[in-house]
Structures are given as C-alpha cells and as structure tokens.
Structure 1
Amino acid sequence: MSVHLTEEEQLEVLKRWWKDYGKTVITGIVAAVALYFAWTTWQEKQRNKAESASAHYEELIKILNVEQGKTLSEADKANAEHIANELKEKNGKTLYAQGAAFYLAKSAVDAGNLDKAVTELQWILASKPDIATAQLAHARLARVYVAKGAYPEALAQLSEEPSKAFASEYAEVRGDILKAQGNKDAAATAYKKALETTDPQQQERAMVLQMKADELKSADVAPATPATQEKAQ
C-alpha cells in the first residue's frame, strides 16, 4: 500500500481542512490587514498632528521674538494667546502644549493676574511632564506664590531635591521666601548656596544673587542715630 496520497486524496484533505479552518483563516487575515491599516493610519495622524503642533509653536515663537527694547503689540499678544490656547487644546501633555502654558503663565504675571498664572503652571504639572519641565514649573509656581504672599505654598513647591540644573534657582527662590518671612539667617544661607551652584558663565545672575546677599548684610547693620554718634565721640 502506498504511503503517498493520491492527488484526489490530497484534494479531499484540503477540502476538509478548508471546511474546518477556512473561515478562521480568512477572519484572521482580514483582522491582520485591518489592524495594519489602522496602525498606519494612526501613525500618519500622529505625524500630521506633530507637524501641525510644531508649525504652530514656531509661529508662537516668531511672534514673541521681538527686538530687544520693544514690546508686543496688543494684536500680537492676542494672536500669541490664541495660538497658545490652541496648542494646549489640541496637543495636551506634549512639550508644545506645556511650552504654550509657560507663555500663558508669564503673560498672566505680566498682566497682574497671578491666579491665572497659578492655574497655567498647575496645568503643566498635572500633564505629568518630564523632570526638567516639572522642576521649571515648580520653580516658577513658587515665584508666583511669593508674589501672592503665599509663602507656605511657595516652599511646598521646592520640597523635592532639584537636579543640578535647577539647584541655583531653587536655592534663590527659597532665599526670597525666607527673606520675606523675616528669616534672614536662613535666607543668607540659601543665597550662598544659590551663588555656589550658579554656572560661572552666568555672571549677571551671580551679580543679582550677590546683591541679594549683600542687602541682607546691610539690613543687619543698624543706622547710626545722633545719640549713638555723640557717645562714639
């Protein structure tokens, strides 16, 4: 008896196999094709979205990039705010949206709307940004709270140890808070740390920090009164 199947037997086996598994195979193929096209469509959509966000962000930067000494016109401010809000609305949790929120926070501070600035910076933190973006948001939020006189809330923003890149700024803001609270010794220590961790190339920043530290020292020296001058003589 031959161990090889005849052509008719092979055909019969194929028919039976197709009857049992044909529909399953077709369904699997259709599902795989659909999944492939869904994936490629999603990728294309994400790519187009990213390109659109990049173009809008570049437009925002172009508007804000005014010549030194000049200020934005009211029309440019309105346009920049519109673009920033659109970036947030359509690109939430991306660097483009977070960058737009930073601009909106700064614009709010310039306008004296500190509550709005707090809202924008809290939005950035709620979007779970990367470490550097989060630390920048915490530092700026602390500054806004200082301006509001909310010192405990400001200090709370600086509770975590910052990376080297933000060590100086965190120390400076902490010094500003402690100074405002009347804790001059702790403020002086914070300013000293800020100076020690400042990039040597940031000379202007170092000068500002030194001025803050010197102001604390001069405040400790009581001004001479006529009575004390007479005693000294």
Structure 2
Amino acid sequence: MATQLDLEEQEQLDQLKAFWKKYGNAITWVLIAVLAAFAAYTFWENRQREQAAKAGVLYDELDRAARAGDVEKAARVFGDLKSNFPGTGFAQQGALLAAKVQVEKAQPDAAVATLTWAAENAAEAEYKTVARLRLAGVLLDQKKPDEALKQLAGADAPSFAGLVADRRGDILAAQGKADEAKAAYQQAWKALDAKLEYRRLVEAKLTALGAAPEAEEKAKATS
C-alpha cells in the first residue's frame, strides 16, 4: 500500500515538474509583470497624493496673497504652481485666482498670459471654458473683440453654454452688430435656468435691443 502511494506521489511530482518545465518561465514572467504593475500603481498613487499635498500648500499661499491684494506675490506663487504641479487642479484654480487679482490691480496683459495658460493647459473642459470666458472679457476691455470671439470658439463645456452665448452677445454688441448680439442673447436666455438671477440681466439686454423675451413669446402666440 505504501509503495502504491509512493508511486502515485512520484507520478504527480513528475507531472508537476513537466508542467513547470513547460510553463514555469511564462508563469514567472506574468507574476513579475503583475507585481511590477502593482508597484508602479502604488508609486504613482503615492506620488499623486504627495504632489496634490504640495500643490495645496502653494494654493493656500496664493489664496492668502490674493486676499491681501499682493499681486506680485500671487503671480510668483502661481508661477511655482505652474512650473512644479501643472497637472493638478490647484494649478488650474490658481490660474483663475491669480488672473482675478491681476485684473483688479490693473495688469490686464499679465491676466491675459495667465488665463491663456489655463485655457490651453487645464485638464477639465469646465476650467478651460471658465478661463476662456474670463479671457474674452479681458480682451474685450482691451478693445480686442475679434480675439475675444476666438477665445469663445474654444469654450465648449455644455454647462456653460448660456454664459458663453451671453459673453458672445456682449462682444457683438460692442462691435455694433445688434442683430447678431440679439441672437446670441436669445440663445443665452434659452440656455440659462429660469431660476437663475443672471437670466434677468440677459433679459434686460434683450429688452434694450427691442427684443424682450416675453414680448416675443406673446407675438408668437398671437401669430
């Protein structure tokens, strides 16, 4: 009986050896690849957390500079954010905050450069759209309506469609293109939620152009 068991065990052992000789190398490489991928992911995840933490410290410093109205320090800290942590959300938010201070402190050219960076480098469509909206506003103030309109062409986040149309209307109105401005404002009025207070401002712009939304709706109903 013992001999029979020994023979069976020896046969199983021989089969295992044959299997490992045939597939062992491949299995080893698969295990190495899996372990390497896990190690790489763990390293990446830890590095992301570390990067985000460091970027957060810089953003806090930028926020304090902005609240103090220290435009030079705000620009300097944003420069550090942009150089060292360009892919983080803090860098995107920092660009918008730095540009706000630059506009408030009458540094429109610096704001244009900051917002252009955000418009071209932000990871999320929403950040890009906000940057382009604000950039279009600064360019309009600089009497550069054509450049402002070009910026809006790339502002494509769906949730900001109403605000983009409204800004386009402002630019067209400044160019004296009343009919085109009216069409843009109408698009904005339709896209904005009826509960938003901002919608009333768009309605006022339409009324000033002789196209009050309520009047037009009544006219359509009558016809």
> What TM-score results when the alignment is normalised by the length of structure 2?
0.67
Partner of 2:90: 96
Task: Give the Cα–Cα distance (whole angstroms) in 1 for the partners of residues 202 and 24 of structure 2.
Answer: 78
Partner of 2:142: 148
1:41 positional shift: 1.6
1:107 positional shift: 3.5
Q: For structure 1, which runs of at least 5 residues remain unmatched after alignment?
A: 218-233
**Counterpart residue type for residue 32 of structure 1:** V
Task: Give the Cα–Cα distance (whole angstroms) in 2 for the partners of residues 16 and 207 of structure 1.
Answer: 81
**Counterpart residue type for residue 124 of structure 1:** A
Identity %: 32
Partner of 2:215: none
1:191 positional shift: 6.0
1:102 positional shift: 1.4
Residues 105, 90 of structure 1: CA spacing in aligned structure 2 closer, same or farther, 3 A cutoff? Answer: same
Partner of 2:48: 46
Structure of larger gyration radius:
1
Q: For structure 2, which runs of at least 5 residues remain unmatched after alignment?
A: 211-223
Q: Conserved in 2, the CA contact under 8 Å of 1:105 and 1:116?
A: yes
**Counterpart residue type for residue 8 of structure 1:** Q
Q: Conserved in 2, the CA contact under 8 Å of 1:106 and 1:117?
A: yes
Task: Compute the RMSD of aligned alpha carbons.
Answer: 3.8
Task: Give the Cα–Cα distance (whole angstroms) in 1 for the partners of residues 22 and 156 of structure 2.
Answer: 65
Q: Deviations over 1:180-206 (max 9, x none)?
A: 323456556766776785876648x95
Task: Give the Cα–Cα distance (whole angstroms) in 1 for the partners of residues 193 and 22 of structure 2.
Answer: 74
Q: Deviations over 1:137-175 (max 9, x none)?
A: 2211211221222212222333467746552x4354334
Q: How does 1:41-80 map to 2 (within 5 A)?
A: 41-64=43-66, 66=67, 72=69, 74=70, 77-80=71-74
Q: How many residues align?
A: 204
Task: Give the Cα–Cα distance (whole angstroms) in 1 for the partners of residues 152 and 139 of structure 2.
Answer: 12
Residues 198, 12 of structure 1: CA spacing in aligned structure 2 closer, same or farther, 3 A cutoff? Answer: closer
Q: Conserved in 1, the CA contact under 8 Å of 2:129 and 2:156?
A: no
**Counterpart residue type for residue 137 of structure 2:** R
Task: Give the Cα–Cα distance (whole angstroms) in 2 for the partners of residues 121 and 88 of structure 1.
Answer: 12
Return the match for 1:126 from 120, 134, 139. Answer: 120
Could you say what secondary structure the match of 2:152 adopts?
A: coil
